[in-house]
Structure 1
Amino acid sequence: MQIKQYRTQFIQTLSAIYDEGEAESFFYLILEEKKQLRRIDLALQPDLVFSEEEIEVWNTILEQLKLEIPVQYLLGKTHFYGLEFEVNENVLIPRPETEELVDWIIESQQSEVSNQKLRILDIGTGSGCIAISLAKNLPNATVFAIDVSEKALATAKKNAKNNQVKVNFIHKNILETIDLEQEFDIIVSNPPYVRNLEKQEIKKNVLDNEPHLALFVEDNNALVFYRKIAELAQENLSSNGQLFFEINQYLGKEMIVLLEKMNFKNIELRKDIYGNDRMTRAGV
């Protein structure tokens, strides 16, 4: 079968679940991974064909996509901040808005002396996407990363090795942590922040496949991780240190109030590219 014919069939099959643009993006992601062909290759060589064996592989993937298993889990990897990351059911799939948080941190260091040594801590690292991206782009930084899940840390360690950076990974439950035991210039976290009341807004492919431990908090204690991390930051940030958070888009005002009550300074709330309150920065 010609690949372009299969492409049409693939998109039509998924049209009841995904919009056409998303289904088409899945097709080309898989095409590049499985056959090392890009969109332009197919346009220039419209008569390319799939073998029967290849069609069997694609049909298996198609059935899994119909069950709304994320394409990144099916491929076992995704891209984040120009780097490739292994992903699986033990870690969240990195999101574009988290790239914006990484960008903000890197941007905040551009005015600093380039050879100034930095100590950075990423709390709730998951796949390691934040910590590894910072280590790759801030070569003067020593980066540490914490997660409660040993399986997530195993994935993050592989990602650090694959991206050729050194990150000091620590297995720790941050909610049970009394002291971080050293000072950091930057503490960053994208902790669980989706309230149970917001579950109906979460797509089925996320709800049924991504780890709930990394997603959800109780409705009556939605800022539990932020409060704890901010308390630790008060004691463990350096004198000019900065605390960065990715936040629940509905709780921007509550986050500002929390940080103000804890006497943080120069508090900023930033929107993501979709216009949602998504990130905060504060100093001690």
Structure 2
Amino acid sequence: MKIKEYRAQFIQELLPIYDAGEAESFFYLILEEKRNLKRIDLALNPELTFSNDEIEVWNLILNQLKKEIPIQYLLGKTSFYGLEFEVNPNVLIPRPETEELVEWIIQSQKSKAESQKIKILDIGTGSGCIAISLAKNLPNAQVFAIDVSEKALATAQKNTKINEVNVTFLLKNILETEDLEQQFDIIVSNPPYVRELEKQEIKKNVLDNEPHLALFVDDNDALIFYRKIAELAQKNLSPNGQLFFEINQYLGKEMIDLLEKMGFKNIELRKDIYGNDRMIRGTI
């Protein structure tokens, strides 16, 4: 079967669930992964074909996409901040908004000399996307990362090898941690922040497939992780050390109030590419 014919069929079958642009992007992502062919290759060689075995593989993937299993889990990888990361159902799929948080941290360090060593801690690292991106782009940084999930840390460890960086991983439940036992210049976290009341806003492919442990918090204490991490930051940030968070878009004011009450200075709230309050920084 000609690939271009299968392409039309593939997109058509996904249309009840995804829009045409998204379905087409899935097709080309899989084509590059499975056949190392790009869109331009198919345009220049319209007679290229799939074997029956290939069609069988593609149909299996198509059926999983119809069940709204994320394409990143099906391919086993995704891109984040120009790097490649292994992903699986033990870790959240990195979001574009989180890339903005990483960029903010990197830019905040640009004025420092390369000889000036810094220590960074990423709390709730998941796939390791924040910690690894920082280690890759800040050669003067010693990076540590914490997660409560052994399986998440195993994935993050693989990602350090893929991206050729060193990160020290620690298995900890941050809510049960009383002291981080060393000082850091930067602490960053993208903790669980989606309230149960916001579940209806979450797409089915996320709700049914990504780890709820990394997503949801109780409606009655939505800032539980932020409060705990900020308490630890009070003890374990170096003088003028910075605390960065990715936050719930509806709780920007509450986050400012929390950090102000805990004595943080120079608090700055930023919006993401979609215009939502998404990240905050405070200095100790």
Instruction: Provide TM-score, normalisation by structure 1.
Output: 0.99
Describe the superposition over 1:30-75 as per-residue Cα deviations: whole angstroms up to 9, x where unpaired.
0100000011111111111111110000000000000000010011
State how 1:123-272 maps to structure 2 within 5 Å: 123-272=123-272
Aligned residues between the structures: 284
Is 2:114–2:139's contact at 8 Å kept on the other side of the alignment?
Answer: no
Per the alignment, residue 281 of structure 1 pairs with 281
State the distance in 2 between where 1:115 and 1:247 align. Answer: 32
Per the alignment, residue 26 of structure 1 pairs with 26
State the distance in 1 between where 2:25 and 2:227 align. Answer: 39
Q: Kindly, what percent of the aligned residue pairs are identical?
A: 81
State how 1:87-102 maps to structure 2 within 5 Å: 87-102=87-102
RMSD, matched Cα? 0.6
State the distance in 1 between where 2:266 and 2:274 align. Answer: 24
Farther-moved stretch of structure 1 (105-114 vs 77-86): 105-114
Per the alignment, residue 17 of structure 2 pairs with 17
Which secondary structure state, in structure 2, belongs to the residue aligned with residue 127 of structure 1? coil
State the distance in 2 between where 1:114 and 1:20 align. Answer: 47
Aligned amino acid, residue 45 of structure 1: N
Which secondary structure state, in structure 2, belongs to the residue aligned with residue 110 of structure 1? coil
Per the alignment, residue 36 of structure 1 pairs with 36
Is 2:122–2:189's contact at 8 Å kept on the other side of the alignment?
Answer: yes
4+ long deviations beyond 2 Å: none
State the distance in 2 between where 1:144 and 1:273 align. Answer: 28
Aligned amino acid, residue 20 of structure 1: A
Aligned amino acid, residue 230 of structure 1: A
Per the alignment, residue 74 of structure 1 pairs with 74
State how 1:26-65 maps to structure 2 within 5 Å: 26-65=26-65
Which secondary structure state, in structure 1, belongs to the residue aligned with residue 185 of structure 2? strand
**Pairwise CA distance, 1:113:** 2.0
State the distance in 1 between where 2:47 and 2:100 align. Answer: 40
Which secondary structure state, in structure 1, belongs to the residue aligned with residue 88 of structure 2? coil
Is 2:245–2:281's contact at 8 Å kept on the other side of the alignment?
Answer: yes
Aligned amino acid, residue 167 of structure 2: V
Aligned amino acid, residue 70 of structure 1: P
Instruction: Provide TM-score, normalisation by structure 2.
Output: 0.99
State the distance in 1 between where 2:6 and 2:241 align. Answer: 54
Which secondary structure state, in structure 2, belongs to the residue aligned with residue 263 of structure 1? coil
Which secondary structure state, in structure 2, belongs to the residue aligned with residue 275 of structure 1? coil
Per the alignment, residue 115 of structure 1 pairs with 115
Aligned amino acid, residue 163 of structure 1: N
Farther-moved stretch of structure 1 (37-46 vs 147-156): 37-46
Describe the superposition over 1:212-264 as per-residue Cα deviations: whole angstroms up to 9, x where unpaired.
00000000100000000000000100102100000001111110010011110
Q: Gaps (5+ residues) in structure 1? A: none
Q: Gaps (5+ residues) in structure 2? A: none
Which secondary structure state, in structure 1, belongs to the residue aligned with residue 49 of structure 2? coil
State the distance in 2 between where 1:43 and 1:247 align. Answer: 43
